[in-house]
Chains A and B, each alone.
Chain A
Amino acid sequence: MTGATSGVEKTIWDRLFTVLVAAIYIFLMFPIVLVVLLSFNSGEFLAFPLEGFSLRWFEALFSNKRFLDATLYSIQIAATSTIVNAVIGTLAAIYVARHATVARDYIRLIMTAPLLVPEILTAIALLFYFYEIRIGTDYSIGIQIGHIVVTFPYVFLNVSSALFNFDRSQEEAARSLGAGGWMTFRRVTLPAIKPGIITGCLFAFVISFDIFNISLLLKSLGSNTLPLELFDYLRFNFDPTAAAIASLSIFMTFAAILIIDRTVGLRSLRF
């Protein structure tokens, strides 16, 4: 009986724990809130105290050609990574779930390696490799491949978990009803794993938009992603334009989370 009642009563430890969790969240969220506040500050410097509300730094951001180009470049790379991974990440997940037999665990490990290996190591390895095959950093294909590699596991893992939770007898039911392999995939399997694909793609997009190391090492001359441009900018300027860029990234991330929640529901996210 004690077990049953302790679930209802709040002990002092439960309360302490709540306070602790709240403190951790405040600690983590505080810088984000600061950055957003500063981006709307009318003062000249990226510093307190706040002077007044203004959108001038967003204006500055959007009238700066370098930032605009960088934003478009980042979006282009993130979108390409997302689309490519939507296809190969899904196919890889299906292969591992359905057809890999003996080596399944090893293949799964290799597929998730970009998530486990420090990004900088992946970047260095790719850099060596690109020089070896004489692409070097002359083309934007290098940085694009880097982004695809690093964001691949997000689609792979999300689709894998969707497949894992999928009752395969549904496919057999479709076959028994006369549907061929493709029809079964399109009308039964794909709708079932769609939430996993959407979630994985949104993650891939946001991560690709954000990553730094890969871009720094693999970028071709004269083209910067937004994080790189921001880094360059901050070396010589310290005005709230940087905060405006950061705010923009944060808004995008929140937008992605909102889309996931609205379309597939955050509850369905499991790794």
Chain B
Amino acid sequence: MTALTIDRINKRYGNLHILKDISIPIGQGEFVSLLGPSGCGKTTTLRCIAGFERPDTGRILFGERDVTRALPEQRDIGMVFQSYALFPHMTVAENLSFGLEVRKVAPADRQRRIADVLAMVRLEGYDKRYPRELSGGQQQRVALARALVIEPSVLLLDEPLANLDATLRDEMRFFIRDLQQRVGITSIYVTHDQAEAMVMSDKIVVMNAGTISQFGSPREIYERPASQSVAGFIGRSNTISGKIAEALGQDGYKVETPCGSIGATGPAGLSKGAEVKIMIRPENISTRSQAASGHQQGAGAEEAGSGENVLAGSVVNSVYQGSANQLAVKLGSGDRVIVDVNGRNPLEVGEQVALRFAARDTWLLAS
């Protein structure tokens, strides 16, 4: 069942087209992130859902109810702002009480719900404090509690962790996600931090310049990006250009590249001769010193029928990072490939290496 439907909304400011036909179906209890570079329209989308902006065309449905024209206070939302937006002249308890008073909840009930939600965000005993007497992380949790205490049908969060330091941010990611799952509330989360979106979300909406580049689970987006821009935005990736030489079954292809023929996986329906880029994630490539592997330099890329590809290259850069070290390898074709290696057998700059990766770990992107 869809809890929230965003149906082809468009938004213009003057002659700037900010949102272009945005459609997102969101299931009950799902945690959906809006992810994209600065200025791509994430906040605008969220504000349309909240009712602070009105889309020029398109509809927004909460369940079956069309709220496109409803005022924010009529929508039954909880919202967490980047600046927290706590009421500075009210104590924590009064901040939480506000939404309940508006809803005419009886005083005894109010007390109980405030106590419950304060326990949930681990802030028991802080009810008499003023926001200025709290740390950033505590204010953040009060903001979360204030949004949750009214038990809204949708929780909206606009970069709530952007003002926290890195350690606290990591902690709060899991805290928010855990809380969201316990309460089971449908949530929409705006961020431009891809790592945050990856660890927290059920689904990610990757946005770019007012359009949706891809909508899917973190795994789909990471392993099967829809375009080069998505692949580049989510995690690190290598690409090798080539042409489809042959389709093998549903999603297997043989791709002709300057380094030889490579077996790769890709979306169904790519036609022979199409220009493509082969995407390989750095952690999916294994290396072996050329001398040890016994391979001849410039040997054919794919080991026939095995689904394994082997490319030769030379190390041009090696970065020590402690646990996972990084190598930059220059291929015969001139392409540079980034590879993750473990620290135990470091390779020197200038050394010849064989790069090995499976066809199922690659993904073809239209160029």
A residues sitting closer than 8 Å to B (CB atoms) are 167, 169-170, 172-180, 183, 187-188, 191-192
Contacts and interface: CB of A to CB of B under 8 A. Distances in A.
Contacts of B85: 167, 169-170, 172-173
Interface in B119-148: 146-147
Contacts of B76: 178
17 contacts: A167-B85, A169-B81, A173-B85, A173-B86, A175-B51, A175-B72, A175-B73, A176-B78, A177-B146, A178-B99, A178-B102, A178-B150, A179-B73, A179-B98, A180-B71, A188-B87, A192-B89
A190 to B, nearest CB: 10
Interface size class for chain B?
A: 20 to 34
Interface string B145-160: 0110010000010000
Contacts of B83: 167, 169
Contacts of B207: none
B102 A179 contact: yes
Given A170-B87, A175-B52, A179-B102, 19 more contacts: A167-B85, A169-B83, A169-B85, A170-B86, A172-B52, A173-B86, A173-B87, A176-B73, A176-B75, A176-B147, A177-B78, A177-B102, A177-B146, A178-B73, A179-B73, A179-B99, A180-B73, A183-B102, A192-B88
Interface of B: 50-52, 71-73, 75-79, 81, 83, 85-89, 98-99, 102-103, 146-147, 150, 156
Contacts of A176: 50, 72-73, 75, 77-79, 147, 156
Contacts of B89: 191-192
A172 B76 CA distance: 13
B78 to A, nearest CB: 7
Given A188-B87, A191-B89, A192-B89, A177 B150 contact: yes
B81 A173 contact: yes
Contacts of B72: 172, 175-176
B157 to A, nearest CB: 11
Contacts of B77: 176
